[in-house]
Amino acid sequence: MYRSHFIFYMLFLVLGNFLFAQQGSGKLYKVDRYKSVYLPLGKISFADKIVDFKVGNPPPIKKYRDSTQCLHEPNYKNYQTPNFLSLGCGGVLTVEFTDNGFMNLPGDDLYIFEVGPSREAAKVEISENGIDWIYAGRIAGGKSSIDLSDENISKETVFYFLRIIDLKELCRSITAGADIDAIGAINSVMMLTINTDVLFDVANYDIKDTAEKSLDSLVKNIQKIDKATLYIEGHTDSDGEEIYNMELSKNRSISVKNRLIEIFGENALYEYEVIPYGESKPRVPNDTDEHKQQNRRVEITVLPPRDYYEGLE
């Protein structure tokens, strides 16, 4: 009976991987023998850079202190192979997501790949800028996921920094402290911004021929993900009437959307939503020509596809 259940389970895993693979860039990552976690934007969803690492005391033995082992996709093999980072007792790890960020969206938002025979407790904090930190939750035992809604965290902010602080639960080990293989953003997002002066002439919403080079860079970034929802937001400075600026930002966003559809083709696995803001969301005060130029922009937010969230309902 046990053998038949195990065979059924393995078939289920294979089928699950196949079905998720059909959905585009999303990928199923194995956590242990019986559990996997799905990241809808796949391999770009992981922390990319070490900002700081303060090993705890007592520390793990030297071979488990390579902080780069916690970056990118998980590669844990076994407890003896040092493909992970041990924080040490009370150790603090700060990482940055460089080609993506993460947001508080439906479902779990983060997954910490904490490995090894003991799953030590750790506190998780997040930051938009690497300076101001917000408590996001904790991992402990078999709990490795973080839902930012549990801490009433903003649903509009994109975060790029994450800090893990070991809570000194297990300090007498060659791998003292929490053991981190990877740090993944389940609700990973990519933010792309282009100055509208590059795309359009003054008071115009037809894309200039000279904008192609800038659009090529935009397209290459989006193509890192082959299935996603694209929110295209238009922004202006405060010159002119508010109603006019809203209409201009709308038409410019539609022009960008249409050009992307033209480039990617109508069969591409992207869904589009145009959101005009006019002058209502300036980055900086509209008090100088330089600041006004910064506020004239089109922002594209690349999010997990809608059907991923339908599965959570």
If you average pLDDT over residues 74-93, what whole number do you get? 94
pLDDT reported for residue 266: 86
The tens digit of pLDDT for each residue in 164-192 reads 999 998 888 899 999 999 999 999 999 99
Q: How confident is the model at residue 17 (pLDDT cuts 50, 70, 90)?
A: very low
Q: What CA–CA distances, in Å, run from 99 to 112, 187, 254, 302?
A: 18, 14, 25, 11
Dihedral angle of Cα 256, 260, 261, 267, to the nearest 10 degrees: -150
Judge whether residue 21 has pLDDT over 80: no
Judge whether residue 20 has pLDDT over 50: no
The tens digit of pLDDT for each residue in 213-253 reads 889 989 999 999 999 999 999 999 999 999 999 999 999 99
Judge whether residue 29 has pLDDT over 90: yes
| Predicted TM-score (pTM) of this structure | 0.88
36 — phi, psi (to 5°)?
-135, 160
**CB proximity list for 268: less than 8 A, separation 6 or greater:** 226, 261
Of 23-37, 125-139, 249-263, the one with minimum mean pLDDT is: 23-37
The tens digit of pLDDT for each residue in 107-128 reads 999 999 999 878 899 999 999 9
pLDDT reported for residue 214: 86
The share of the chain scoring above pLDDT 70, in percent, equals 91
If you average pLDDT over residues 81-107, what whole number do you get? 97
Of 24-33, 64-73, 249-258, the one with minimum mean pLDDT is: 24-33
The share of the chain scoring above pLDDT 90, in percent, equals 81
pLDDT reported for residue 24: 56
Beta-ladder partners of 64? none
Q: Go through the domains of the chain in sequence order and give each one's CATH number.
A: 25-186 (2.60.120.260), 190-310 (3.30.1330.60)
Angle between helix 242-264 and 212-222 (nearest 10): 70
Q: What is the mean pLDDT of the chain?
A: 90
How far is it, in rounded angstroms, from Cα 301 to Cα 296?
16
pLDDT reported for residue 119: 84
- Top-confidence range, 25-29, 58-62, 139-143, 210-214: 58-62
pLDDT reported for residue 313: 58
pLDDT reported for residue 7: 36
Question: What are 82's two structure tokens?
Answer: 């040092």
Q: How confident is the model at residue 8 (pLDDT cuts 50, 70, 90)?
A: very low
